[in-house]
């Protein structure tokens, strides 16, 4: 009789313990975010009444389904700890690979003397037809003192580059070979680079795309000028991103 009493007393305790043991589980969307992009964390935990998130970058949250932005690139381990109403706990972790933004640095250089052109208007178009008809631009910026302008968030495609400055443009070069104005296909989450070669021209009082006179002109090919490749690393992306066209 004592054995029966002991079993009937312990069994409810085991069932209660199993019922209230929490199980931590969560998902992240997107799982490979870009720096500064919102990541939605969703808890699918069972029997959990309290949540504590450690995002691995020095930030925490006690919300059930928090939204978080990672402000630096790299790999982070996100850990969720949950508690049941009876005080039991469980943990789950997930690795998040935060990518750098897709960047395109365009450097405007004069073709012959290769000096940088400051204050040049740089417009990107998605197709050659758009370039020729001056429509559907995907970005516009002005070069800095080093002749450079930075674009961010471009799609995985080629772009056609229109450059105009009061004494420079790339229109004659475009007529010689489309390769002078066409970027390589943009590689996502990398630092892409393109040199936009231009001629020194006499615009007079003419506006953009009006007839211009090239001071010097010989038959030229894009292959004569080496283009930089997209960077394999991420070093320096923050400085470029801060200088991007906004």
SS (H, E, C) 168-228: EECHHHHHHCHHHCECCCCCCCCEEEEEEEEEEEECCCCCCCCCCEECCCCCCCHHHCCCC
Check whether residue 87 and residue 120 sit in a common domain. no
pLDDT at 232: 81
Helix (H) or strand (E) holding 78, with range, is: strand 74-83
* 86 shares a domain with 109: no
Residue 173: how many CB atoms within 10 A of its CB? 23
The mean pLDDT of 118-128, rounded to a whole number, is: 98
Task: Give the tens place of pLDDT for each residue, 185-218.
Answer: 999 999 999 999 999 998 876 667 665 555 555 6
The verdict on 121 and 229 lying in the same domain is yes
Q: Tell whether 109 and 218 lie within a shared domain.
A: yes
Q: Are residues 91 and 108 in the same domain?
A: no
Give the position of tokens 């037809």. 129
Query: Which region holds residue 90: left if phi is over 0, alpha if psi is between -120 and 50, else beta?
Result: beta
Contacts of 57 (CB under 8 A, 6+ apart): 70, 71, 72, 76
CA 115 to centroid of chain Cα atoms? 30
> Does residue 85 sit in the same domain as residue 177?
no
| Cα–Cα nearest to 84, from 58, 45, 55 | 45
Q: pLDDT-derived band of residue 7, with 50, 70 and 90 as boundaries?
A: very low
Question: Residue 70: is its pLDDT beyond 70?
Answer: yes
For the cut 50, the answer to whether the pLDDT of residue 4 exceeds it is no
Same domain, 132 and 48: no
Name the strand (E) or helix (H) holding 230.
none
Quote the Cα angle for 30-33-39, to 5°.
Answer: 55
Q: Are residues 70 and 165 in the same domain?
A: no
Q: What is the mean pLDDT of residues 223-235?
A: 89
- Of 77, 98, 119, the domain-final residue: 98
Average pLDDT over residues 36-62: 98
pLDDT recorded at residue 100:
97
Which residue segment(s) compose the domain that 85 sits in? 2-98
The CATH number linked to 166 is 2.60.40.1120
How many distinct structural domains can be found in the chain?
Answer: 2
Residues 152 and 227 occupy one common structural domain: yes
| pLDDT greater than 90 at residue 10 | no
Q: What is the CATH number of the domain that holds 6?
A: 2.60.40.10
Would the pLDDT of 12 be above 60?
A: no
Domain boundary among 30, 65, 98: 98
The length of the chain is: 246
Over pLDDT 90: what percentage of the chain? 80
Q: Among residues 98, 113, 135, which one ends one of the domains?
A: 98
Q: What span, in angstroms and rounded, lies between the C-alpha atoms of 216 and 113?
A: 11
Asked if residue 108 and residue 94 are part of one domain, the reply reads no
Dihedral pair phi/psi, residue 194, rounded to 5°: -150, 135
Q: Are residues 51 and 119 in the same domain?
A: no
Kindly state whether residues 29 and 131 are assigned to the same domain: no
């Amino acid at each position: 009789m004592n054995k029966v009493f002991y079993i009937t007393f312990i069994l409810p305790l085991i069932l209660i313990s199993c019922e209230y043991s929490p199980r931590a589980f969560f998902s992240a969307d997107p799982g490979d975010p870009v720096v500064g992009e919102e990541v939605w964390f969703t808890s699918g935990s069972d029997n959990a009444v309290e949540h504590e998130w450690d995002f691995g970058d020095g930030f925490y949250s006690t919300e059930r389904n928090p939204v978080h932005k990672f402000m630096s690139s790299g790999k982070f381990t996100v850990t969720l700890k949950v508690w049941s109403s009876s005080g039991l706990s469980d943990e789950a972790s997930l690795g998040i690979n935060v990518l750098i933004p897709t960047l395109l640095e365009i450097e405007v250089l004069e073709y012959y003397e290769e000096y940088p052109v400051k204050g040049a208007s740089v417009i990107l178009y998605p197709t050659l037809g758009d370039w020729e008809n001056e429509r559907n631009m995907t970005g516009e910026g002005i070069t800095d003192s080093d002749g450079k302008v930075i674009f961010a968030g471009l799609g995985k495609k080629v772009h056609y580059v229109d450059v105009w400055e009061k004494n420079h443009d790339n229109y004659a070069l475009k007529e010689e070979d489309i390769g002078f104005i066409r970027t390589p296909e943009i590689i996502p989450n990398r630092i892409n680079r393109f040199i936009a070669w231009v001629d020194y021209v006499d615009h007079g009082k003419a506006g953009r795309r009006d007839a211009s006179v090239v001071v010097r002109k010989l038959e030229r090919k894009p292959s004569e000028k080496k283009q930089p490749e997209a960077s394999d690393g991420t070093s320096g992306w923050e400085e470029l991103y801060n200088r991007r066209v906004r």
